[in-house]
Structures are given as C-alpha cells and as structure tokens.
Chain A
Amino acid sequence: MIEFKQVSKYFADKAAVDEIDLHIAAGEFTVLIGTSGSGKSTTLKMINRLVEHDKGTIQFAGEEIRGFNPQALRRRMGYAIQSIGLFPHWTVEKNIATVPGLLNWPLAQQQQRIAELLTLLNLEADLLHRYPHQLSGGQQQRVGVARALAADPEVLLMDEPFGALDPVTRGVLQQEMLRIHRLSGRTIVLVTHDIDEALTLADKIVLMDSGRIVQQGRPIELLTHPANDFVRDFFGRSELGVRLLALGSAGAAARRGEWLETSPIAAEMSLREALSQFIARQTDKLPVVDGKGTPLGVLHFGDLLRQRESA
C-alpha cells in the first residue's frame, strides 16, 4: 500500500529522517514509535505530503506520491492529530462532513455517512448540532476520528491521536480503534510514544531513533527478539513480562470445557489485566465469558506462563 525506499528528509541540513525503508501493507495497523525527535511524526507527514521528502521514493498504491495532486492525495487519506483540531466554528455534523464536503458528495449521501459514523464511534445523534467546545475531550477525539474516516479513506494517518486524553478515555478509544480496524480492515498508520498503546494496537511496530528505523516487526518479535540494547531498553527490561502479557487475551488462553461460578471476566481482557484480577481477587482461577455473556472456559494462573508461545 505504502512503500518507502531510501527516504530522507533534512531540516536545516540535519537529517530528520535518514534513508529509511518501510513497507506498510494494505489492511495493516502500523504503529510508528520512538522518542521525541526520532522522526516518527515527520515520517507520517511525508505520507500525505504535509512534509515533502528530499531523497528516495515514497509510493502509494503503486505510484510515486509526487505524481498525485497533494489535495487529492490527502482527501484519499484520513488524518487525525493529537490536539484533535476540530474546527471550532463548525458543528459536529459539519466537522465530520469536512472531506465529503470537499469531495462534493450529494447531501443525502453525506447524511447517511454521518449516521453510519455516529453508530461506529458510539456518538449520540443529539451531539450533531453542538460545537466542539461543548463536548468532552473523549467526544471530541471520537468526532476527530469520525472526520478522518468520513470519506472512507484508503489509509488512516493518526499523529498521537490519544495523547491528550485521560488514561481511562484513552483505553476506551484504543479498544474502539481496534474494533474499527477489525470491522473495516483499513490500513492505519499511527504515531505514538506510548509503548503500551503501541503494543495494544499494532499489527506491526516500527521503532525509530534519530531518524532511523531501529527495528520493525510484530510486537512479540520486538519484545522477545530485540535487535539491540536500545530496543531492549526502550521496551523496558523490568516491565518486559507484563508487556508480553498485554499481547495475549483471556479468551484465547482460557481452558475450554471448564466453568466456575464466580463473577467472570471478559474474553477481550488482556492477560495483563487478568493478572491484575488474579492478584486483586486473591485467586488462581477466573471464569471467562465472551461478548454475549456465554461461558467460554476458565483461565488458570499458570496459563499466564504459557502465554509466550501462544501469542
């Protein structure tokens, strides 16, 4: 879908991005992670030409991106940023319909799309005529995501979209992003400096440092086979265990055919949260139910140890 070949970008003769090669496959959830100044945001912005690359080639859908009209290119890609950037003088409805409006969709089609997006992002219909300052931070970010998705973009670019939210809201929105990704199969590229966010969301993590890609691969690969000490330090030696647990879900690890009459946990719960439940409830067995509340099985404390192979 998107292919970087030997791409560099210089700011005042200093390389912000230094000869990177990166392949973003269609339908993949890619997370660019790194410290401040690692070049991750610059890399993201080169995809929709908010920043123009100086060297190398970037291809989108098989064509060099310089061949596209920048405005047309951007309208094919959703864009969401940390400060959300909702237009304060427009209602929620008008904000969501920004790109369909630019693309001159018929009004009925816009209305229909807005209704779909409200459902997708769990937004109430009566919010449509409010202005951004009348919404909570979480609602604003949902509207921001809805706007980015409005014209059914081929790629969704997100620059630290949940950075300004409280941990609870952030967690909820991360789960929604996963759901949206699962439902739509859209290609998503997200920039963050939050390791746990990256591990929760990513199909593929790209770890960057001072303009270069240090390692890229599935989250479990970066955790279990770090390329060098930088990667090991970045993901935190002491927290490695719980981060590995965060990659597995209670539903996948539970033993089928067993059941226990005590308050159950949800199948989507990560094993890291399950660990916390084991400790808090002072037990070594927890029943697991699926989304509809049907019993799935029982998770044993010892199952957490086998997580490494299953993930």
Chain B
Amino acid sequence: MSGRLKGWLRDPLLWPIALFIALLLLMPWSGPLFARWFPQLDRPLYQQESFWQLALAHLRLVGLSSLGAALIGIGAGVAVTRQSGREFRPLVETLAAAGQTFPPVAVLAVAVPVIGFGEQPAIIALLLYGILPVLQGTLAGIESVPASAREVAQGVGMSAWQSLTRVELPLAAPVIIAGVRTSVIINIGTAAIASTVGAKSLGSPIIIGLSGFNTAYVIQGAVLTALLALVADRLFERLQRCFSGSAK
C-alpha cells in the first residue's frame, strides 16, 4: 500500500498539477509578497476577477476552440485520405497552412468588427489557428499505417468504415494525438492574447498589467499560463503513451 503511494508520489504528472492548483489557491494571499517585491505599485495584486475564474475561463476558451480544431482537423485529414477525397488534399493543406500564417492578433483584429468583442471572436481565432497541427498529425498518422495492414483489412472483408475505425485510426492515434497536443499547447499560449478582445483568460492580468505598467500583474498571469501549458503537455504525454503502448 505504501509502495503504491510512493509510486504515485513519484509520478511526474502529480507535481505540476499540484503546483498549479496551489498557486491558484494561494494567489489571493500573495498581496504582501508582491507589495514587497514591487513597493512602487499601489495595487500589486490583480483583483478584478479571482484567479480561479480566470483559469476556468481560459480552459473554456482553449477547450472549446481545441475541440473544434480537433474535430475539423481530424475530419478533414480523414476525408482527404479517402479514395474519393484525394483530389482535395492540396487545397485543404494550403487552407490550413494559410490559417496559421496569419498572426493570431491579426485574426482577432479581423474577427472583432465582424463578430464583436468577447469570447466568440477569440474562440474562432483560436480554432482556426489550431487546425493545422491536428491536420498535419492526422495526415502523417494515416500515412504511417502500413500498406499491408490496409490491404489485409480490405482483403478480409472489412468495409471502408471498419477499416478506418478499427485499423487506420487506432494505428494513427499516437501521431494524431501528437498533433492535438501541439495544437492545444499553442492555443493555451495564444488564448492569453485573446484578452485583448475582451475575452477573460489568464491573459487578462498580463494585458492589463502591460498597458498599466504593472509588472506584478504580468508575472501573476504569465506564471499561471505557463504552468497550465506545462500541465496540459504532461497530460498529453501520458495519453500518447497509453495509445502507443500496445502498438509500439
């Protein structure tokens, strides 16, 4: 029993998560610390919203946009690797690449006059920005499926759908998940910028801090954003290992 506890404590996933939650909880009491560090500031602790709310709003932004990006990216990747969709592959790849060429701030700036301020333009910009890595992962993953596995799937009488869901996607999964991982990590960082268009996120203290020369705010937002990205990265690493464990 104590052995299991020890193993659990040694889990590299536990510590970043614990640290992130501890910082979220302790931040409201860190006022004196930042007051000492930056004595020239009147209000050294960000208090407009609680850090919990900001973290949840940030996760919501990333979650919704990444979910959309994953669905669109995997869907498009699967579609253009089918016999019937092959011709659209160059077009889809070009579109996705173009989506990522625009700096996210530019996408946000374009989205605002069309949709207005708030969460929606942020989600759309993040979504567009997140598609390319997922698409690339899906294409690379499906291409890595051995031709013999595909031929046999067909030869033993699997339908196209069965071949996709039972053979191609499971074999491509580690590479697809790597794509989603990249997409999510990028989005966690980019979501901080979304605060410029009025979406709440852990970027809010950073943006407000930058415009008001409040370095303490910037540090508070930046540390939490960075930790969140680290936690997400570790989680995906674990997920990837689960999927590649059996298939090698």
Show the binding face of A for B, using Cβ within 8 Å: 48, 50, 70-75, 79, 81, 83-89, 98-99, 102, 131, 133, 147, 157
Task: Flag whether B156 is at the interface (Cβ < 8 A).
Answer: yes
Closest to A99 in B: B156
Query: Residues on B close to A: CB < 8 A?
Result: 146, 148-149, 151-159, 162, 167, 170-171, 246-248
A-B contact pairs, 27 of them (CB 8 A): A48-B155, A50-B154, A70-B157, A71-B158, A71-B159, A79-B155, A79-B156, A81-B148, A85-B146, A85-B149, A85-B151, A86-B149, A88-B146, A88-B149, A88-B171, A88-B247, A88-B248, A89-B171, A89-B247, A98-B156, A99-B157, A102-B158, A102-B162, A131-B246, A131-B247, A133-B248, A147-B156
Q: In the docked arrangement, what's the CA distance between A131 and B247, Å?
A: 8
Q: Which residues of A contact B152 (CB under 8 A)?
A: 79, 81, 85-87
Name the A residues within 8 Å of B154 (CB-CB): 50, 74
Residues of B within 8 A of A102 (CB): 156-158, 162
Contact call B157/A87, Cβ cutoff below 8 A: no
A50–B151 touching, CB < 8 Å = yes
Q: How far is the CB of B170 from chain A (nearest CB, A)?
A: 5
Measured in the bound complex, the distance between the Cα atoms of B155 and A298 in whole Å is 48
- The smallest beta-carbon distance between A149 and chain B, in angstroms, is 12
Contact A89 B148 (CB under 8 A): no
Q: Which 10 A-B pairs have the closest CB atoms?
A: A74-B157, A85-B152, A85-B148, A75-B157, A89-B247, A79-B155, A83-B148, A71-B157, A89-B170, A133-B248
A75 to B155, CA, bound (A): 8
Chain B residues near A70 (CB, 8 Å)? 157
Q: Which of B156, B247, B248 gathers most chain A CB within 10 Å?
A: B156
Report A105 CB to chain B, min CB distance, Å: 14
State A81–B154 Cα separation when bound (angstroms): 12
Across the interface, which residues of A come within 8 angstroms of B157, CB to CB? 70-75, 99, 102
Other contacts beyond A81-B148, A85-B151: 19, CB < 8 A: A50-B154, A71-B157, A71-B158, A71-B159, A74-B154, A74-B155, A74-B156, A74-B157, A75-B157, A79-B156, A81-B151, A83-B146, A86-B152, A87-B152, A87-B171, A88-B149, A98-B156, A131-B247, A157-B155
CA distance A84 to B149 in the complex (A): 8
Task: Report whether B158 and A89 are in contact in the complex, using a CB–CB cutoff of 8 Å.
Answer: no
Residue of A75, A86, A87, A131 most packed against chain B (CB within 10 A): A87
Q: How far is the CA of A72 from the CA of B158 in the complex (A)?
A: 9
Question: Are B146 and A75 in touch, CB under 8 angstroms?
Answer: no
**Within the assembled complex, what's the spacing in Å between the Cα atoms of A85 and B145?**
11
Q: Which residue of A lies closest to B167 (CB)?
A: A87
Cα A71 to Cα B159 in complex, Å, equals 7
